[in-house]
Amino acid sequence: MPDGSPTETPVVFLALPHSGSMCPESMVSIGQASGGRFDVSIDAQGSSLLVRNFNQLWATALNLPERPKYFAMHHSDIAAPPGWIDVLIDTLEEQKADMVSAVVAIKSFDGMTSTAVLDLETKARRRLTVTEVSKLPPVFDGADAGALFGINPERSVLLVNTGLWVCRFADQPWIEDVCFATGDEIRKGEDGKFQAHVMPEDWLWSLTLSGRGLKVLATSAVPVVHFGRTPFAMGGERKPWGGAEKDAWVPT
């Protein structure tokens, strides 16, 4: 029988990288990240060097006298419903995964997300669209995503986003051996012209974890809003745009 002693609340280190500002909508999902099931310890790191932000926050968690059970990250332009950490950790435990990332739409009107799939045989990668994600289970892995494009499950790797995610931390043997990085280079194309090429830090992180045999998942079960700045212009040679052609008369 229980002895009546209090149960220790698991600690989540919530990392908040930013470049000097946070969108107001983020404050709600940061402040209400858990419904009370977890002790959320928040730390922010501001710099225009994105990857350094991530690595400094990871190092801060490593240096804590008692390492947190979980490490989570919330970008400064993201908003999610209250209790999102609870949902991601439940998924992590139910699926016996090592990392779970929420799918985030890219800030454009083409419907792309920053979750992708990599074919290890061809070395080609492809982003998932919002429509394609809707055809997948609420929680999916590389095999699920690759199946959309006929990729053999054994060579399909899921590349997830770092906007909103959680992973196991305390007592994990790999956490001192990894870091965030970007893969930048200049390549010459078939047309003979040089082009900048990058492997983003989130996708390299996914490859690092998958390469260590860790289970990386993505989920659409947590609704996420990605905030940005959109210019709305008119005049000159611009054509009329917008879904509404007229307004309604209302009393003043």
Q: What is the pLDDT of residue 5?
A: 46
Token pair for 6: 């209090």
Per-residue model confidence as pLDDT tens digits over 75-91: 999 999 999 999 999 99
Starting at the edge strand found earlier in the chain, the sheet holding 112-119 runs 124-129, 112-119, 156-159
Query: What pLDDT, on a 0 to 100 scale, did the predictor assign at position 189?
Result: 87
Gap between the Cα atoms of 26 and 136, Å rounded: 27
CB atoms within 10 A of CB 114: 21
CATH for 11-185+195-226 is 3.90.550.40
Q: pLDDT tens digits for the chain (252 residues)?
A: 345 545 689 999 999 999 888 899 899 999 999 999 999 999 999 999 999 999 999 999 999 999 999 999 999 999 999 999 999 999 999 999 999 999 999 888 888 899 999 999 988 899 999 999 999 999 999 999 999 999 999 999 999 999 999 999 999 999 999 999 999 999 998 899 999 988 999 999 999 999 999 999 999 999 999 988 776 667 567 776 667 666 575 655
Question: Cβ contacts of residue 27 below 8 Å, gap of 6+?
Answer: none
Where do the structural domains in the chain lie, given as residue ranges? Answer: 11-185+195-226
Spatial separation of the C-alpha atoms in residues 78 and 27, rounded to whole Å: 9
Sign of CA dihedral 229, 230, 234, 236: positive
Q: Which of 75, 80, 77, 81 is nearest to 201 (CA)?
A: 75
pLDDT digits (tens, 9 = 90+) for 30-55: 999 999 999 999 999 999 999 999 99
Residue from 210, 219, 224, 206 nearest 88 by CA: 219
Can you tell me the distance from the alpha carbon of 93 to that of 168, in angstroms, rounded to the nearest whole number? 9
Contact 5, 12 (CB under 8 A): no
pLDDT of residue 230: 74
Question: What's the pLDDT at 109?
Answer: 80
